[in-house]
């Protein structure tokens, strides 16, 4: 019996010693939009990299996430892990004075830890067009580029207004936005892709779903009488080859108007798969597919 009490005593002493001796995480620097121009910026997602560069801060950028590839000037920057798994060691080694992350669970976690060890980190949401404009404003405020941010947002809104989009088409073409062919997975209503389609003057062929990118059956594709099928290309190269395989794949759905009228489009995925300053290019690309530009 004595041995069991000894074990309990050990546990008590261990816990007491630990809680008494080890400091909790430091309070950290409050991550707010203080106006002080940072000199060493690290971006943890491709879309924030594009925003930071669009604010004229490409030279201050010292590290970017693995798949940040636009603008071309970021290709030579140090890489700090992927969007889903940022490498916190690599971030710290760059001694950044501002880290810009997205407000996703993994990135929030990393942001919290960076703030605790003294690296100022901000999180922005960038899932919908409205949030994109808020993110531009917030990053502008955090980097002392308020005026540039306002100018960028105004310019983007002006370009968006130039696309005729919704005024051009009546009835609006039904669009199937394919993110994966087998099994078939498409963009649902609660996505920025849906906003892209609507800004370009189309309407999503798939109704409201629980998932953002729901898997759908062949039945729905045929039943919805899809007018236009759009597939963002995988990777930058060989759009023609992908266009051919797409047409061959969709050929089996002869009853779908998009297939009958040869309106299956493989488009360059870059400007339509991330929500950033190139939003307007993405919208006009989609509008060209819909014939509403």
Partner 1 sequence: MRSLLTPGKLVLRLAAGLAVLAAVCAACAMVGSEHVCLSEALKGPGQAGGVNPDYEILVHIRLPRVALAAVVGAALACSGVVFQALLRNPLADPYILGISSGAGLGAMLAVIAGFNWTFLGRSPVGGFAFAGAMGTVWLVWWLGRLAGRGQMTGLLLAGVVVNAFLSAIILFLTSVARSEIVYSTIFWLMGNMTEGDFRVIWVAAGFVLAGIGVLYLLAGGLNALSFGEDDARSVGIEPARTRLVAFMAASAVTAVAVSLSGLIGFVGLVVPHSVRLVLGSDHRQLLPLSAVAGAAFLVGADTIARVVVAPAQLPVGVITAIVGGPLFLVLLVRSCRGAGGLR
Q: Which residues bind partner 1 (CB under 8 A)?
A: 3-4, 7-8, 10-11, 14-15, 18-19, 22, 24-25, 66, 79-82, 84-85, 87-90, 92-93, 95, 104-106, 109, 113, 116-119, 210-213, 215
How many CA atoms, within 13 angstroms, populate the side-chain half-sphere of residue 117? 13
Torsion of CA 197, 203, 208, 209, to 10 degrees: -50
Taking alpha carbons only, the member of 66, 105, 113 closest to residue 88 is 113
In the complex, what is the shortest distance from the CB of residue 219 to partner 1, in angstroms, rounded to a whole number? 18
Rounded Cα distance between 226 and 80, Å, is 41
Taking alpha carbons only, the member of 10, 46, 277 closest to residue 156 is 277
Taking alpha carbons only, the member of 153, 258, 260 closest to residue 202 is 258
In the complex, what is the shortest distance from the CB of residue 7 to partner 1, in angstroms, rounded to a whole number? 5
Nearer to partner 1 among residue 25 and residue 241 (C-beta) = 25
Nearer to partner 1 among residue 120 and residue 263 (C-beta) = 120
In the complex, what is the shortest distance from the CB of residue 69 to partner 1, in angstroms, rounded to a whole number? 16
In the complex, what is the shortest distance from the CB of residue 24 to partner 1, in angstroms, rounded to a whole number? 6
How many CA atoms, within 13 angstroms, populate the side-chain half-sphere of residue 35? 7
In the complex, what is the shortest distance from the CB of residue 6 to partner 1, in angstroms, rounded to a whole number? 9
Q: Encoding tokens for residue 214?
A: 């729901």
CB 213 within 8 A of CB 191: yes
Nearer to partner 1 among residue 22 and residue 254 (C-beta) = 22
Q: Is 293 exposed, middle or buried (0-12, 13-18, 19+ CB in 10 A)?
A: middle
| DSSP state for residue 172 in the 8-state scheme | P
In the complex, what is the shortest distance from the CB of residue 88 to partner 1, in angstroms, rounded to a whole number? 6
In the complex, what is the shortest distance from the CB of residue 231 to partner 1, in angstroms, rounded to a whole number? 18
Q: How many residues does the chain have?
A: 293
CB 41 within 8 A of CB 95: no
Nearer to partner 1 among residue 79 and residue 164 (C-beta) = 79
In the complex, what is the shortest distance from the CB of residue 19 to partner 1, in angstroms, rounded to a whole number? 7
On the question of a cis peptide bond just before residue 171, with omega within 30 degrees of 0, the verdict is yes
Nearer to partner 1 among residue 92 and residue 153 (C-beta) = 92
Rounded Cα distance between 126 and 46, Å, is 11
Nearer to partner 1 among residue 19 and residue 240 (C-beta) = 19
Nearer to partner 1 among residue 11 and residue 255 (C-beta) = 11
Nearer to partner 1 among residue 14 and residue 251 (C-beta) = 14
Taking alpha carbons only, the member of 93, 135, 90, 85 closest to residue 110 is 85
């Amino acid at each position: 019996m004595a041995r069991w009490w000894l074990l309990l005593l050990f546990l008590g002493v261990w816990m007491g010693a630990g809680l008494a001796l080890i400091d909790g995480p430091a309070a950290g620097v409050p991550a707010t939009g203080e106006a002080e121009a940072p000199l060493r910026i690290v971006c943890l997602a491709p879309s924030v990299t594009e925003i930071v560069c669009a604010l004229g801060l490409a030279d201050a950028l010292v590290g970017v996430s693995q798949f940040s590839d636009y603008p071309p000037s970021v290709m030579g920057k140090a890489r700090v892990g992927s969007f889903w798994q940022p490498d916190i060691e690599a971030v710290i080694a760059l001694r950044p004075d501002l880290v810009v992350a997205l407000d996703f669970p993994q990135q929030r976690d990393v942001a919290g830890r960076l703030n605790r060890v003294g690296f100022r980190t901000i999180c922005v949401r960038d899932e919908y067009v409205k949030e994109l404009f808020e993110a531009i404003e917030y990053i502008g405020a955090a980097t002392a580029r308020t005026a540039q941010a306002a100018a960028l947002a105004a310019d983007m809104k002006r370009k968006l207004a130039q696309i005729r989009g919704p005024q051009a088409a009546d009835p609006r073409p039904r669009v199937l936005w394919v993110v994966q062919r087998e099994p078939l997975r498409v963009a649902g209503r609660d996505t920025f892709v849906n906003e892209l389609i609507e800004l370009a003057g189309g309407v999503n062929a798939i109704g409201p779903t629980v998932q953002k990118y729901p898997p759908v059956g062949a039945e729905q594709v045929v039943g919805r009488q899809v007018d236009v099928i759009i597939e963002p290309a995988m990777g930058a190269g060989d759009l023609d080859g992908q266009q051919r395989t797409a047409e061959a794949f969709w050929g089996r759905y002869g009853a779908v108007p998009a297939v009958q009228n040869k309106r299956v489009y493989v488009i360059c995925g870059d400007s339509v798969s991330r929500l950033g300053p190139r939003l307007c290019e993405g919208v006009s690309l989609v509008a060209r597919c819909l014939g509403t530009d």
